[in-house]
Chain A
Amino acid sequence: MTALLELDDVGYRYPHRKNERGDVLRGVSLTVAAGEAVGIVGSNGSGKSTLLKVLATLLRPTRGRVLFRGVPVARSLRAYRAGLNYCAGAPQGFYPRLTAEENLRFSSGMKGRMLSRGEIAALLDRVGLTESGDVTYARFSLGMRQRLHLAAVLFEPATVWILDEPTNGLDSDGMALLQGLLGEAGGRVARVVVSHDADFLSRVVDRTLHLRDGKVMCSSSRSS
């Protein structure tokens, strides 16, 4: 399989911490093929969220390189970000004073094309928030917030989804919805998912990487 995304010996050191503890990622190498789903597990502080932020180009690695279709992302940043949907997950990530619909209008506008009311209604419908478009984000429960994040993940065009703890706050229906969305995107969108829920990950990803102290300790595929 051709690599869509590639991390080559990537390291990341916190900019404001000069000592050894500043190293969050230490030589992580990873490839993600087009349409593949990769899970990442690890204990708190193992570097999972930082790894996702590096993959999302929110943080620039202090060592190594990130490649998109074989080209360093710095050189294809616009193309990469155009197809990237990053979800940091609830409870934050949206403006509390804006309604669900307004938040999606803002997010889609930032992505390059502000969606119409009809398109937003369809997205809200897909994530089970049909009746909540005019409710402010501040009034949403944690589960509803997470569903709104999932609606933003569905923006098109998408080649890569990066999801950080997407199961947070979701009830069983929400989990089934998330599993369905991840399954539907299979083969079309590459998905990188961080979750503490190993059981959930085993159902939705093709392989799982285990991260400890900023290093990939082992990798296990679904079949194994």
Chain B
Amino acid sequence: MFKFALFLIRVQWIDRLATSSFLIGITIQTALLALALYQTAQTPAEALVLAARAALMTCTAIVLLSAMSSVQNEFRYGTIEKVVLGAVPISTLLLIRSAASAVVSSPAIVVPFLAAYARFPGLVGPRSLLVILMAYVSLMAVCYQSTLVLCQFKAPIGVVAWLRLGLLFIGLSVLPFAGSELVSLVLPTGWILRFVAATGPQAAAVAFAGFLAVTAAWTGLLWKALSGRMMSRIEESLTDGAETR
């Protein structure tokens, strides 16, 4: 299973490289955000917040693209049969693919933190490494959850933009308003930012626990609510134009 998981990371990488937005757009965005962080961050705490925000902002686009591909490609390429008949349960495959998707986002996750480390070398340590790990977990969860959501739509591409807007405006408060920080706590990314900004160990522990709880709650809730409908969508796709595919 481990070898297969590694292989799926490679497949995810091949899939992402095929989209110009990943190769060019993500590279430019990552470079610009890292440069801006390096030039503007005044304190180590500010640098860490900016690095986390930059990584999450860029990578939500990557994992949403991956989630959309997971849905559309299986139907379009007629490979859904292999997925359904496979010995690997769909929930497990979805989990491995989501993890693979987070892994292929690595350059965009790591580069902003490297910029922060270059500006303030004292930031290197367990705390910032934990933030990076939380970013990975959060992106994996976003990919898993959005795959379930996107499965429900015949044209998921139209929904991707809305999901991204929600993640950016609610989860990362890119346009702050009164109470936006509180609202952001409904999503795991809000808790990551709270963890980064926490000043004491107790506040950090609460933020970390909040992150785990919200991530698990959303994943469980969406699986319970949408997995049945996902199987119906798969059945529909198997009966659509069976003779004309």
Task: Write the residues of chain A forming the contact surface with B, with a CB cutoff of 8 angstroms.
Answer: 14-16, 24, 44-45, 49-50, 53, 56-60, 78, 81-82, 84, 86, 88, 92-98, 102, 105-107, 109-112, 114
Contact = CB atoms under 8 A, between A and B. Distances in A.
Interface in B77-92: 77-79, 81-88
Contacts of A106: 7-8, 11, 82
Contacts of A59: 235, 238-239
Contacts of B85: 56-58, 81, 84, 86, 110
Contacts of A96: 77
Q: How large is the interface on B (under 10, 10 to 19, 20 to 34, 35 or more residues)?
A: 20 to 34
Contacts of A98: 11, 14
B83 A110 contact: yes
Contacts of A81: 85, 87
A88 B87 CA distance: 18
A95 B86 contact: no
Given A110-B93, A112-B88, 12 more contacts: A50-B239, A56-B81, A58-B238, A78-B87, A82-B87, A92-B77, A93-B78, A96-B77, A97-B14, A109-B4, A110-B87, A114-B7
Contacts of A97: 14-15, 18
A147 to B, nearest CB: 17
B7 A50 contact: no
B224 interface: no
B73 interface: yes
Contacts of B79: 92-95
Contacts of B242: 49-50, 53
B90 to A, nearest CB: 11
Contacts of A93: 77-79, 81-82
A14 B78 CA distance: 18
Contact of A92 (B78, B87, B93, B243): B78
A107 B86 CA distance: 8
B239 A15 contact: yes
A192 to B, nearest CB: 15
A44 B239 contact: no
A102 B238 contact: no
Contacts of B239: 14-16, 24, 50, 53, 59
A112 B82 CA distance: 11
Contacts of A45: 243
Contacts of A112: 86-88
A112 B85 CA distance: 11
A29 B242 CA distance: 21
Contacts of A14: 239
Contact of B243 (A44, A94, A111): A44
Contacts of B81: 56, 58, 86, 88, 93
Interface in B82-141: 82-88, 93
B206 to A, nearest CB: 41
Contacts of B87: 78, 81-82, 110-112
Contacts of B235: 15, 59-60
Contacts of B238: 53, 58-59
Contacts of A15: 232, 235-236, 239
Nearest to B245: A92
Interface string B211-245: 00000000000000000000010011011001101
Given A57-B85, A95-B79, A102 B11 contact: yes
Ranked 5 nearest A-B pairs via Cβ: A92-B78, A110-B86, A112-B87, A109-B4, A49-B242
B86 to A, nearest CB: 3
A199 to B, nearest CB: 21
B86 A111 contact: yes
Nearest to B87: A112
B4 to A, nearest CB: 4
20 contacts: A15-B232, A15-B235, A15-B236, A53-B242, A58-B238, A60-B235, A81-B87, A92-B78, A93-B78, A93-B81, A95-B79, A96-B77, A97-B18, A102-B11, A105-B7, A106-B11, A110-B86, A110-B87, A112-B86, A114-B4
